[in-house]
Amino acid sequence: MLVHFNDAVADLTKPLDISLPLADSTKNPIAWYIDKPVITPVTMGDWVGKVSRGASTNFNTILFNPHGHGTHTECLGHITKDFYSINDALKQFFFVAELISVTPEAQGEDLVITQSQIAAALSGKTPEAIVIRTLPNDVAKQSKNYSNTNPPYLEEAAATYMRECGIKHVLIDLPSVDKEKDDGKLLSHKAFWNVKDVNNLNDDARHDATITELIFVADTILDGSYLLNLQIASFVNDASPSKPVLYKLE
């Protein structure tokens, strides 16, 4: 099925899923010092919610954390004193996105994605969404435990630049746009959402902007322009597990 989007065409029969699945496995990606997800059948007395154990249905309870267990999309409620839900923040689900690949620069003991790198990769484009693939693009990202590894992150100026370009949605293959241990500063989150005070939210904070972390973009997906379908579960929470899907724009 071909659909026209602005002046381009996308083939909806050729989806490119850039999400990571969530599984009850030590191979599930993990961040923020937590254990793996747990998916287990409900047990009530002698009854176990598993067909292989005599039940009529499989009836599982899932214990996970959206921020630490895979691809997730978050709103500014992630860092504010007052509660804001991703289910209220994200009301549109299709966007023009630009996929870029960036090799983070060494800054002391850190690896940092800089404003100049983002600007050079965009080359004057101002898409609604940006998908950032970091290089090298090791497949180990699909099952990595990021805790205590000091992963690469966005410098504050890069987040500010994307906000000023009008980009509403950032997607990245890292556990956070901020440094793992930054004493709670969260400079890039605050810059992108334009949050000046987490305790008293400013009127021009970006309620409709989102950050999606822990994606994985295969090497077979080339840099360029795509139609992005950003799918979330209807969680009343600051973040939800998500399934971003790209369609090449021709």
Report whether pLDDT(1) > 80. no
pLDDT for the residue 18? 98
Neighbours of 37 (CB within 10 A): 18
pTM: 0.96
Contact 237, 224 (CB under 8 A): no
| Domain count for the chain | 1
Paired sense of beta strands 94-102 and 110-113, if any:
unpaired
Query: Averaged over 110-130, what is the pLDDT?
Result: 97
The answer to whether position 115 is within a domain reads yes
What mean pLDDT comes out for the span 192-210?
97
In a domain, residue 50? The reply is no
101 falls within a domain: yes
Q: Is 143 exposed, middle or buried (0-12, 13-18, 19+ CB in 10 A)?
A: middle
Residue 155: CATH number of its domain: 3.50.30.50
Is there a domain that residue 221 lies in? yes
Residue 38 lies in a domain: no
Judge whether 143 lies within some domain: yes
| pLDDT tens for each residue of 145-174 | 999 999 999 999 999 999 999 999 999 999
Inform me whether the pLDDT recorded for 6 exceeds 90. Answer: no
Answer yes or no: is 62 within a domain: no
53 part of a folded domain: no
pLDDT (0 to 100) of residue 194: 98
Return the pLDDT at 157.
Answer: 98
pLDDT recorded at residue 107: 97
* Mean pLDDT (whole number) for 60-71: 98
The answer to whether 222 touches 83, Cβ cutoff 8 Å, is: no
| Cα angle 3, 164, 99; round to 5 | 40
Nearest to 51 by CA among 65, 61, 41, 64: 41
* Domain containing residue 197: 2-20+67-248
Q: What is the mean pLDDT of the chain?
A: 97
> Please, are residues 173 and 140 in contact by the beta-carbon 8 Å criterion?
no
CB 19 within 8 A of CB 70: yes
